[in-house]
C-alpha cells in the first residue's frame, strides 16, 4: 500500500468494528486492525460530517476505471444487495472507514490485485449520527 491517509473514527464505530474482527477473513482482519490502530478515535458527536462512518452513504471512484459507486457502509448482519449496502468486513468497506471526502487509499482486493479508490462524497444517515 502507499502512504496511508489519516483516519477519524467514532468511539462507537471503533468498539463495534473491533468486536467483529474475529468474524473477518484473517488477512482482512489484519488490515482492518492496522487501520483502526492508526485512527484518531473521537466521540460520535465530534466526528466530522465528511468522514466515512458506519451507516453513512459513500460515493467513491475507482481511480483506474473512473467508475463511481454509491454504497451504504453497514455491519455484516445488515448487508443487503438490493439497497447497495456493503459490510465493514468486505474489502472495500474496510478500506473506506474513517476516510474523508477527497482522500484516496490503495487497498488489496480478493483477486490478488489492489484498487486505488477516492471518496467523492459522504452523507451521514440518522443511524450514523446516533450518539
* Per-residue pLDDT in tens (0 to 9) along the chain, 131 residues: 456 789 999 999 999 999 999 999 999 899 999 999 999 999 999 999 999 999 999 999 999 999 999 999 999 999 876 778 999 999 999 999 999 999 999 988 777 889 999 999 999 977 655 54
- Domain 8-129 fold is Chitinase A; domain 3 (3.10.50)
Q: What is the pLDDT of residue 127?
A: 65
Q: What is the pLDDT of residue 110?
A: 74
Contact 39, 9 (CB under 8 A): yes
Supply the pTM of this predicted model.
0.90
Domain ranges of the chain: 8-129
| Residue recorded with cell 483506474 | 64
Q: Cα(127)–Cα(66) distance, rounded to whole angstroms?
A: 30
- DSSP letters, the chain, are --SPPP-EEEHHHHHHHHHHGGGS-HHHHHHHHHHHHHSEEE-GGGS-TTB--TT-EEEEEETTT--EEEEEEE-GGG--GGGTEEETTSHHHHHHTT-BTT-EEEEE-TTS-EEEEEEEEEE--HHHH--
Amino acid at each position: 500500500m502507499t502512504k496511508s491517509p489519516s483516519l477519524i473514527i467514532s468511539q462507537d464505530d471503533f468498539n463495534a468494528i473491533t468486536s467483529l474482527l474475529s468474524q473477518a477473513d484473517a488477512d482482512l482482519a489484519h488490515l482492518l486492525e492496522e487501520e483502526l490502530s492508526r485512527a484518531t478515535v473521537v466521540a460520535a458527536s465530534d466526528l466530522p460530517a465528511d468522514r466515512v462512518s458506519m451507516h453513512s452513504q459513500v460515493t467513491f471512484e475507482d481511480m483506474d476505471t473512473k467508475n463511481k459507486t454509491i454504497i451504504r457502509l453497514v455491519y455484516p448482519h445488515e448487508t443487503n444487495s438490493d439497497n447497495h449496502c456493503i459490510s465493514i468486513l468486505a474489502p472495500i468497506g474496510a478500506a473506506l472507514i474513517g476516510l474523508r471526502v477527497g482522500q484516496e487509499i490503495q487497498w488489496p482486493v480478493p483477486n490478488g490485485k489492489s484498487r486505488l479508490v477516492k471518496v467523492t462524497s459522504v452523507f451521514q444517515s440518522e443511524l450514523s449520527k446516533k450518539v
